[in-house]
Structure 1
Amino acid sequence: MPYGIGVAGKEDMLSEKEAILLLHEAQDRGINFFDTARLYGESEAIMGKAFEGRRNDIVLATKCSHFRKDGKLLPDRELRPFIEHSLQQSLEMLRTDYLDVFMLHQADVEILQNETIAEVFSELKEKDIIRATGASTYTTNETSLAIGSGRWDMIQLPFNLMDQRHGAFFQEASESGVGLVIRSVLMKGLLSDRGKNLHPALADVERHIQSYHSWTGDRFPDLPTLATRFALSFEEVSSVLVGIDKTAYLEKALATANGSYMHAAMRKEAENLVYPDPEFLNLPHWDRMGWLK
């Protein structure tokens, strides 16, 4: 499905054949963790075709369909069949009989506090249909609740140079045995060459992004490398998600994730590079406002 700045429709996307070839190349080059969701368009179906016959060599994570209808959480009696149906669809699309990680999608506080949802996910894990449970969170309240509940094996959360609010929970997650997967490390592409000529409403954001270029050159070849290595520098982080739709982006990801990141003093310095008003960094809202065209 279309995602990211400059990707408006199918004309900007890979064909299915190209996507499968790129997934094969990524796996052949050592990438083994792939993240998708029931609601990511044709993503599950394409990954299913790509990894059939390679299943034992990869780690697959997908997310359950949303539990809300017209803004309201489904009633408890409908949750179990809803979750089981979503899981079955994912298994069929991904052409597998188990999932390494099955996650809540947009796990808000009400969802995280729902006993039925937690019980169904736990039962699926006990049956070995899923190997680990997870929650994809957006707010710090959600992340805190997900970690503190003791119910979820991993949390997928947003974290990047500009918005480091969720970093406050890294140590707690590690001490609780909860794995962390970082998304939005490039802020939908803003922390790259695409972070220029932005909508006037984002003028301050653009100026802040440009200030990061004082770090590029001798220390880091470019902004995406700086941003990604910063996230990878935290030992509590299991994986960082990056999007690729070109071999060049795969090459860049492999060169970036080379095991040599930031030493403690440099990372501490980089932690001071946050945007002064993190509450403003609401990409879904920017999308709705048309600021990311």
Structure 2
Amino acid sequence: MQFDLLGRTELSVSRLGFGSAPVGFLGTSQGQIDKVVATLLEAGVNLFDTAACYPGSEEALGHALAGRRDDVVIVTKAGHPCDDDAHGHPAFSPELLAASVDRSLERLKTDHLDVVLLHTCTLEQLEEGSALGALLDARDAGKTRFVGFAGDNEAAAFAAADAGVDVLEVSVNLADQHNLDAVLPAAREHHKGVIAKRPLANACWKDRDAQPGMYKSYADAYSRRLAAMEAEGLSPAALGHSGHVEVEWPDVALRFTLAHPGVSSAIIGSTSTVHTEMNLDAARKNPLREEAVERIRAAWQAARAARRGAAAEDDEGDDWKGRT
């Protein structure tokens, strides 16, 4: 497993990380989570991402990582009220964020977190400053080593230039390329650590009926985008690959995300050890070659331009920005 420094932090993180949203939203059993995490740890993966509002995810990850705290980098996210939040504090208020950090420490069975991110707050909430200030207070109290922002578009661009932000978690994938131009250049300039979320674009090449649970609808926007890119001639075969698209697309997608300078790690939320092994195999390869990256970029730009033309005719907005 290859490693990279996470921006200006001293954290060395595996190029492939684990995202635990599906753990919560798909009701994955603890036994299965333990198997997936064990597979990742054995392969050298050390970055594990979760969030306070992913149901049961922090508790499950805390259990799966028991006894391995010194071997891993734990990232969690905060800001949204959870079902068990009895205090009634508003989203992204300092009081809710302070309580959320304490709860995450308990759930994850640790005395400190490595990174805590504001979980898709608005640009206005970032500009106001008290939400980030609450995380900086938690850092100063020794509860987390670094802080940052998870989200996309204008808010992520603002966070990339904010001196208090250490780490960004943004959408970067073949069907979600807005942040490559709108966020990553500023992140590199200001030495921010960048974690790419949704690197497999929610497996948008799958038929809708093959998507599990909430992802049947969650992947729709990406599926429409990929279909538009395929209409521009994009396919694994056009990129020099052959074989079944459900094997080739994940390989292409992950290696596309990891090909971009400044992306330290890409987090994937697999609940299957078979798919986990496939992702590990792709991550061990070199990033996608430059010609293939350029072809994917060109297909996205052409499809987006065509969509903008159609939107102008039917008064719909541009729906090709980063997906928060």
TM range (shorter): 0.7 to 0.9
How far apart are the structure 2 equivalents of 1:99 and 1:164?
30
1:231 to 257, 265, 269: 257
Q: Deviations over 1:4-29 (max 9, x none)?
A: 7xx9976xx43111212221221121
Q: Which amino acid aligns with 1:176?
A: H
Q: What residue in structure 2 maps to residue 74 of structure 1?
A: 90
Q: What residue in structure 2 maps to residue 188 of structure 1?
A: 202
How big is the shift at 1:184? 1.9
Q: What residue in structure 2 maps to residue 110 of structure 1?
A: 124
How far apart are the structure 2 equivalents of 1:244 and 1:46?
14
Structure 1 residues 204 and 125: CA distance shift in structure 2, 3 A: closer
CA RMSD of aligned residues (A): 3.3
1:266 to 288, 292, 297: 292
Q: What residue in structure 1 maps to residue 68 of structure 2?
A: 54
Conservation of the 8 A alpha-carbon contact between 2:123 and 2:158: yes
How far apart are the structure 2 equivalents of 1:178 and 1:284?
20
Q: What residue in structure 2 maps to residue 255 of structure 1?
A: 281
How far apart are the structure 1 equivalents of 2:150 and 2:142?
21
Q: Secondary structure at the match of 1:113?
A: helix
How far apart are the structure 2 equivalents of 1:66 and 1:260?
37
Structure 1 residues not aligned, in runs of 5+ = 286-293
How far apart are the structure 1 equivalents of 2:24 and 2:147?
32
Structure 2 residues not aligned, in runs of 5+ = 1-19, 83-88, 211-215, 309-317
Q: What residue in structure 2 maps to residue 290 of structure 1?
A: none
Structure 1 residues 67 and 267: CA distance shift in structure 2, 3 A: same
Q: What residue in structure 2 maps to residue 83 of structure 1?
A: 97
Structure 1 residues 146 and 175: CA distance shift in structure 2, 3 A: same
Structure 1 residues 136 and 284: CA distance shift in structure 2, 3 A: closer
How far apart are the structure 1 equivalents of 2:149 and 2:68?
26
Structure 1 residues 123 and 204: CA distance shift in structure 2, 3 A: closer
How big is the shift at 1:273? 2.2
How big is the shift at 1:121? 1.5
Q: What residue in structure 2 maps to residue 215 of structure 1?
A: 239
How far apart are the structure 1 equivalents of 2:44 and 2:145?
21
How big is the shift at 1:267? 2.3
Taking only the aligned residue pairs, the percentage that are identical comes to 22
User: May I ask how many residue pairs the two structures share in their alignment?
Assistant: 272
Q: What residue in structure 1 maps to residue 171 of structure 2?
A: 158
Conservation of the 8 A alpha-carbon contact between 1:98 and 1:128: yes
Please tell me whether residue 142 in structure 1 is matched to residue 155 in structure 2.
yes
TM superposition score normalised by structure 1: 0.81
Q: Deviations over 1:101-149 (max 9, x none)?
A: 10101121122112222222122222322111011113x2111111122
Q: Which amino acid aligns with 1:234?
A: H
Q: Which amino acid aligns with 1:246?
A: S
Structure 1 residues 164 and 29: CA distance shift in structure 2, 3 A: same
How big is the shift at 1:284? 7.9
Q: Deviations over 1:210-242 (max 9, x none)?
A: 432332525996011111101100121011111
Conservation of the 8 A alpha-carbon contact between 2:169 and 2:194: yes
Q: Secondary structure at the match of 2:264?
A: strand
How far apart are the structure 2 equivalents of 1:174 and 1:189?
28
Conservation of the 8 A alpha-carbon contact between 1:185 and 1:231: yes
Q: What residue in structure 2 maps to residue 133 of structure 1?
A: 147
Please tell me whether residue 241 in structure 1 is matched to residue 267 in structure 2.
yes
